Structure 1
Amino acid sequence: MRPFYITTPIYYVNDKPHIGHAYTSLAADVLARWKRMQGFDVFFLTGTDEHGQKVEKAAQDAGEEPQAFVDRVSQTFRDLALAMGFSNDGFIRTTEPRHYAACQALWTRLREAGAIYEGHYEGWYAVRDEAYYGPDELVERDGQKFAPSGAPVEWVREPSWFFRLSAWGERLLAHFDANPEFIAPPSRRNEVIAFIKSGLQDLSISRTSFSWGVPVPNDPAHVMYVWLDALTNYLTAVGYPDENAQDYRFWPADIHFVGKDILRFHAIYWPAFLMAAELPLPKRIFAHGWWTNEGQKISKSLGNVIDPLALIEDYGLDPVRYFLLREVSFGQDGDFSRRALGGRLNSDLANDLGNLAQRSLSLIQRNAEGKLPALVALTEADHLLLDPVAALPGRVAEAIDRQAFHEALERVWEVVRLGNSWIDAQKPWSLKKTDPVRGEAVLRHLHTALRGLATVLLPFMPGSMGMMLDQCGVPEAARGLADLATPLPDGTPLAPPTPIFRKVELTAA
């Protein structure tokens, strides 16, 4: 099987998880599940970024030692992955010994290649972003300077090791030109290109003003810049520096999912590090947008942080998973509202898909003794339903491979709506008296449609679509995309159906 490597960013442990973390990992999870169903050998990685000045300060504020602090907060991200049903194969922590070894091996490789040198850093630094900014990037308000992200900056001067980032601008632009799908969506690609063309400065990659980080080899007064440390996690997890490790076959990564706020680090710094170390580059970096809450920017100060665990408790896991990838175009910013989530649950899931399943499977119970009717030759009317059903895996795959998750779901719902109009047109509830043979054929085709719909939706809503496939009598071993080509045996017994989605009362707008 061909390996396929998917990563989320590793999440910074200065606070508990929120909807943004769930969103990024959900996209990675859906892609991972889909690729497994296609027969790929998938490695899906997530984890936590546990070093840096910001974490050290958060631990101090909490009255804890840094290691105890990161142990506690990292566990909340594991808990989120479990609650959201994520199927990650690995969970990396940057405080693991294997990660220290990988970082120091990469540093040594860069130094031996002449890509880093010693000097002094002097400039504007944002602790919150763990990033340096040029004077032209700063915004001034009330006499204080801020980074483009809104984080306050401070003037820093200290000894530092530098990476020769300025030497890699042309190579990066050439790579982007030769690989137009390397950065997505296109608007983000254009931003990165413009930033590089404005001129790259050498990058400070070590700090001496704090100690919570990976020590620089042969210079223990320095710890590595948190982004060199953090980005290396993608290599650590597959066995680097042992390029003969079993999991190293997954490198280079097929896709890094990131939020748009950390694209620069992934699309400029990371490929430059890898080029300098003569290591293969990832194949694609996708930067998604941010969520607002009822039109407001999400922030702790406003008290409007969205807790994904609370949403799951109120609406159920799969409706939350569905909503997050259906409501907005992945890659664009989106606005969250509970009313919109409830509306999707009631309309798309309970009314459209849920009713189609309940009507079809209940009719099989009543009109076909609860057994799957026999396959028969298709009529022209049958092709109107079953041809779009058969085309659905390919159409969904094309959208998922572009990370157009909302588009993939809309393509599924075109067939869901078609199924509801088709059952109304065929009226199988009337055919038992007027044409029972045709009636059973219609029910068989509805079952075929349900099986196809539930199968392509499994990566998005694994629990509820697993229940639907149970009700359709589809064995767990026959739920891959290729299995759709093999019909279930005539007469397969089907248990009486139960509703899969239950409506909720909509909150006020």
Structure 2
Amino acid sequence: MAAMSKPYYVTTPIYYVNDKPHIGHAYTSLATDVLARWKRLEGQEVFFLTGTDEHGQKVEKAAQDAGMDPQSFTDRVSQSFRVLAERMGFSNDDFIRTTEPRHKAACQELWRRLADRGEIYLGAYEGWYAVRDEAFYGPDELIERDGVKYAPSGAPVAWVKEPSYFFRLSKWQDWLLRYYEDNRRFIAPESRRNEVISFIKGGLSDLSISRTSFRWGIPVPGDEAHVMYVWLDALTNYITAAGYPDESHPRWKFWPADVHFVGKDIIRFHTIYWPAFLEAAGLAPPKRVFAHGWWTNEGQKISKSLGNVIDPLALIDEYGLDPVRYFLLREVPFGNDGDFSRAALAGRTNGELADALGNLANRTLSLIQRNCEGKLPAPIENPHLMHDTTLHSGISDLREKVGKALEDQQFHSALEHIMFEVRYANSYITQMAPWALKKTDPVLMLQVLRLLHDALRVFGTVLWPFMPTTMDALLDQLGVPKDQRKLADLATPLPGGIPLPPPSPLFRKIELAA
């Protein structure tokens, strides 16, 4: 299958380096990784970007609290996000840091372009500012408790007054609403789309895009008393990595991005500020922004004060990488909030991975070893002549069903489609009892085992983006050559007679302490 014409660009948000990685970071990057891997299986040229957001007052303060200069602090914390990407098996093509020279150059060029087009002016800002969110809030958005004002996020706010450059965001209000209407898929899920539209209809003010009260940021071109607002700086990373401002760069073909994955707390920045900045600069906006929900831990809100932050690396050490990858995208619809529980992780791992998929593979391959001299039975020339074609038609349709679900970022639906067919294959092997057919109908036995092998090949291929290490092991046991593991290769049956290695367990069951 030839590569499709439009290269595919998918991104995580860049993660703020004021603290070490947690389950939320792993979750967003995992979704991005699975989609990138799937698109590669489809034969597309893919660019997958992640990285770290390293400027701003919050980072400057965190560095001071750690007794470090900001660059040394960001060097250390940024490395922990690289380690997370490696340990989680993410297939990112680049890791961007906003302290890199290429990013400074891109931000300053974007600023100059906006200024040249009359989109920026100098004024003064007064307003309620949350250092934790790096954001200003209107009086009607604030919550007051015990005489202290808080942002909707729960961050405390303080009244700030300082000179500032402004971006003419109010000018783009009507354009944004038209853009959302003309591009219905731009914001997902629908609940977030409605939230953003409602916010804009309440009226947009011009946006303060520079600060003078701290120094840890990218200097404003021509006025180095100001540093750029952290969100103008951070959002620009997506075009920096694509080669901006050099639009002849080989990576520029990937822009506009196909999907930005973000947490729901930063949806406004990505769906209001970012497309407005780009359109104002004469650049194409991204095609889609998907905002996922938040995790709780055993029913409790996750917070450092409660001491219940979930460390994804500790989870991997305890339960294995692929079961954790599978669980995070299987347990709740992507876009909804979800609860992490060890009992649920054990239930998915034991019931769906070990008992359903792992047991199916072990039974099928063990029967081939015992009854077919360890060699793959010949392809079924006309499966429609078999007495039961349900399994064959189910696996034939699976690629399309999974692809459609992933195109809409419905990861849980994609996995449910797969597990439905896995469960059916288990009922099929039990019903057909190929271990008994050797004496009564050896021809049918060969057909049954071949069909089950074909089904496992499909399962191993479509599950590979979710669990690459384990599915590579399954495809090895199935005798699938390493250069024949794309989706298009499923159309070509493996020849009969291939010697298959003895099977070995794919998953270990999780035993929880009583």
Taking the TM superposition and a 5 Å limit, the aligned residue runs for 1:276-295 are 276-295=280-299
CA distance in 1, matches of 2:350, 2:147: 50
- Asked if the contact 2:379/2:494 (under 8 Å) is kept, the reply is no
- Asked if the contact 1:372/1:490 (under 8 Å) is kept, the reply is yes
Shift of 1:504: 1.2
For 1:277, give the aligned amino acid: A
User: What residue is the counterpart of 2:330 in the other structure?
Assistant: 326
CA distance in 2, matches of 1:247, 1:38: 20
SS at match of 1:256: strand
Taking the TM superposition and a 5 Å limit, the aligned residue runs for 1:30-41 are 30-41=34-45
Taking the TM superposition and a 5 Å limit, the aligned residue runs for 1:136-175 are 136-175=140-179
SS at match of 1:476: coil
2:432 to 419, 426, 429: 426
- Asked if the contact 1:382/1:445 (under 8 Å) is kept, the reply is no
CA distance in 1, matches of 2:314, 2:352: 21
Shift of 1:381: 3.3
1:231 and 2:231 correspond: no
1:188 and 2:189 correspond: no
User: What residue is the counterpart of 2:447 in the other structure?
Assistant: 441
For 1:487, give the aligned amino acid: P
CA distance in 1, matches of 2:388, 2:459: 16
Taking the TM superposition and a 5 Å limit, the aligned residue runs for 1:309-348 are 309-348=313-352
Shift of 1:205: 0.3
CA distance in 1, matches of 2:176, 2:444: 62
CA distance in 1, matches of 2:77, 2:192: 31
Kindly provide the CA deviation profile for residues 276-315 of structure 1, in whole angstroms up to 9, marking residues without a partner as x.
1010010000000000001111010110000000110111
CA distance in 2, matches of 1:7, 1:60: 30
CA distance in 2, matches of 1:506, 1:410: 25
User: What residue is the counterpart of 1:469 in the other structure?
Assistant: 475
Kindly provide the CA deviation profile for residues 83-104 of structure 1, in whole angstroms up to 9, marking residues without a partner as x.
0000000100000000000000
- Asked if the contact 1:29/1:459 (under 8 Å) is kept, the reply is yes
- Asked if the contact 1:238/1:250 (under 8 Å) is kept, the reply is yes
CA distance in 2, matches of 1:291, 1:348: 22
Number of positions where the alignment pairs a residue of Structure 1 with one of Structure 2? 508
SS at match of 1:101: helix
User: What residue is the counterpart of 1:8 in the other structure?
Assistant: 12
Shift of 1:34: 0.1
Kindly provide the CA deviation profile for residues 379-405 of structure 1, in whole angstroms up to 9, marking residues without a partner as x.
343411111001100000000000000
- Asked if the contact 2:391/2:425 (under 8 Å) is kept, the reply is yes
- Asked if the contact 1:343/1:506 (under 8 Å) is kept, the reply is no
Shift of 1:435: 1.2
TM-score scaled by structure 2?
A: 0.98
User: What residue is the counterpart of 1:408 in the other structure?
Assistant: 414
Identity over aligned residues, as a percent?
71
Kindly provide the CA deviation profile for residues 186-214 of structure 1, in whole angstroms up to 9, marking residues without a partner as x.
00000000000000011100000000000
CA distance in 2, matches of 1:155, 1:40: 50
Taking the TM superposition and a 5 Å limit, the aligned residue runs for 1:478-489 are 478-489=484-495
Taking the TM superposition and a 5 Å limit, the aligned residue runs for 1:186-225 are 186-225=190-229
- Asked if the contact 2:11/2:260 (under 8 Å) is kept, the reply is yes
* RMSD (Å), alpha carbons: 0.7
1:26 to 26, 30, 35: 30
Shift of 1:507: 4.4
Shift of 1:506: 2.6
TM-score scaled by structure 1?
A: 0.99
Taking the TM superposition and a 5 Å limit, the aligned residue runs for 1:226-375 are 226-375=230-379
For 1:401, give the aligned amino acid: E
- Asked if the contact 1:26/1:321 (under 8 Å) is kept, the reply is yes
CA distance in 2, matches of 1:483, 1:494: 19
- Asked if the contact 2:10/2:48 (under 8 Å) is kept, the reply is yes
Runs of 5+ unmatched residues, structure 1: none
Runs of 5+ unmatched residues, structure 2: none
